[in-house]
Structure 1
Amino acid sequence: MLNLVLFGPPGAGKGTQSAKIKEKYNLIHLSTGDLLRSEIAAGTALGLEAKKLMDNGQLVPDEVVIGMIDNKVKANQDAAGFIFDGFPRTVAQAEALDVLLEKNGTAVSGMVALEVDEEELTQRILERGKTSGRSDDQDVNLIRNRVQEYESKTAPVADHYKGQNKYKSVAGVGAIEEIFDSLCAAIDTL
C-alpha cells in the first residue's frame, strides 16, 4: 500500500499535483477539508461534532480529524493507498497518523515536499485570487502571513519524516508536467 503525504506551503501546487498523482497511482485522495464536509453531509457522529465546533468558530480537534481519517482508511482496506493532502499539519498529527495507520496494518510510505520560494508562492496565490474569489488569495499581507504560519508551525512536520528516512524534496517551480515527472521519480523510490 502506497501512503503518501503531499507537503508544501500554500500555493505550492499540491492541489494540481495531487489530482495527477491520484490518477497515476490509483490512490484515494484524503483532503481533511473534503473529509469534514463529507462527514457533515452524511450526518455522522464525528461530522455533527465537527459542525457544532465549526459553527461556533472553533477549530476541529485532532482526534476528530484522526477519527474521520480512520473511518476512511477502514472503509477502503483494499485500496492501493492514500494521498494525504493538507494533513498532517503538526508533529502531533503526524504521530497520530503513524499510530492510526499502524493499527490498520500499514504506514506512511513517504512525504514528498514541493519546494517553492516565498516570492513565487505570493505571485501564484495572487494569480489564483483573480479567479478563486477568496479574499485571502488577494491580499499580499495575508498571503505572506499564511506562508509564515506554514514555516513556523507546519514545516517542522518534515523533520518528523526526515527522522524516519521518509522525506523527499522536489522543486515545485517549472512546468506542471516537469514537476509531476519529478514527483513521480521521487514516489517511485518509496
Structure 2
Amino acid sequence: MRVILLGPPGAGKGTQAAAVKERFQIPHISTGDMLREHVKEGTELGRKAKEYMDGGKLVPDDLIIAMMEDRLSKEDCAGGFLLDGFPRTLPQAEALDRLLSKMGIKLDGVVLLDVSDDVVVERLSGRRVCRSCGAIYHVSFHPSSRGDLCEACGGELYQRDDDREEVIRRRLKVYHEQTAPLESYYEGKGLLRRVSGEGATDAVLKVLQGN
C-alpha cells in the first residue's frame, strides 16, 4: 500500500495515519519528522537543510526530494508507505512523480481529507496547552475540570500563537492556494479519493480497504 495523505492543518491526518500504519504495517513518513531526523543525525542533507532553517527560509524542494529518496529506499518501505502532507505544491508533486518513476514505485492512491475551514478553526483555536507539563486540552471537546488550570499539575493553560483564529485562517488560505492544483493533478491521474475528515477516526482505512 503506497499512499499519499493530504489535508489541511487540523484535519486529523495523524489519527488517520496511525490507523493505516497499524492495519497495513507500513511506515508513516512526514516531511517534518524526516527533516528533524536528518538534522539530528547531522547528515549532509541535514546540515544543508539546517542552514536554510536557521535562516528562517524554506528548505528547497530538491533537498526534500533527496531526503525522500533516501527514506523510500530503506528496507521498511519495501512493502509500502504512507506520505503525510507531502507533496504540498504542484512542483513537489511533479518532482515526486519523477522520483517514484526513477525508483520503479507506483502509487496506489492519494487520499484527501475534506474538512471545512470552520471545523478546522474550531478544532485548533479551542486548544489549550499547559505551560508547565505540556498537557493539551480543548475548551469544547476536552476541557480541564479545573478551568484555566491543568488537571495534572495545576499549571496555567494558554493558547499558542499559531492556534489563534486569524493565524489559522491565514494558514488555511495558503493551504487552499497550494492544494487546489494538486486535487486536479491527482484526479487527472485517477488517484484521488476524497474522505470526510469530520467523521469516523478510521475513515481513510475504510476507503483503502474498499468499504
TM over 0.5: yes
Query: 5+ unaligned residues in a row in structure 2: which ranges?
Result: 130-135, 138-158
In the superposition, relative to structure 1, how do residues 30 and 78 fare at CA in structure 2: closer, same or farther (>3 Å)?
Answer: closer
| Cα pair 1:129 1:135 within 8 Å, conserved | no
| Cα pair 2:15 2:201 within 8 Å, conserved | no
In the superposition, relative to structure 1, how do residues 77 and 101 fare at CA in structure 2: closer, same or farther (>3 Å)?
Answer: farther
| Cα pair 1:112 1:168 within 8 Å, conserved | yes
Is residue 125 from structure 1 mapped to residue 110 from structure 2 by the alignment?
A: no
5 Å matches for 1:1-190?
2-76=1-75, 79-130=78-129, 131=136, 134-137=160-163, 139-174=164-199, 178-180=200-202, 182-189=203-210
In the superposition, relative to structure 1, how do residues 128 and 26 fare at CA in structure 2: closer, same or farther (>3 Å)?
Answer: farther
| Cα pair 1:27 1:82 within 8 Å, conserved | yes
Runs of 4+ in 1 over 4 A off after TM superposition: none
Deviates more, 1:65-74 or 1:16-25: 16-25
Q: Which has the higher helix share?
A: 1
Q: Which has the larger radius of gyration?
A: 2
TM-score, length of structure 2 as denominator length: 0.82
Q: Counterpart amino acid of 1:184?
A: L
Give secondary structure in 2 for the equivalent of 1:155.
helix
CA RMSD of aligned residues (A): 1.6
Q: Deviations over 1:97-142 (max 9, x none)?
A: 11111111112211111111111110011133543864201x1100
Query: 5+ unaligned residues in a row in structure 1: which ranges?
Result: none
2: CA distance between counterparts of 1:10 and 1:46?
26
Give secondary structure in 2 for the equivalent of 1:11.
coil
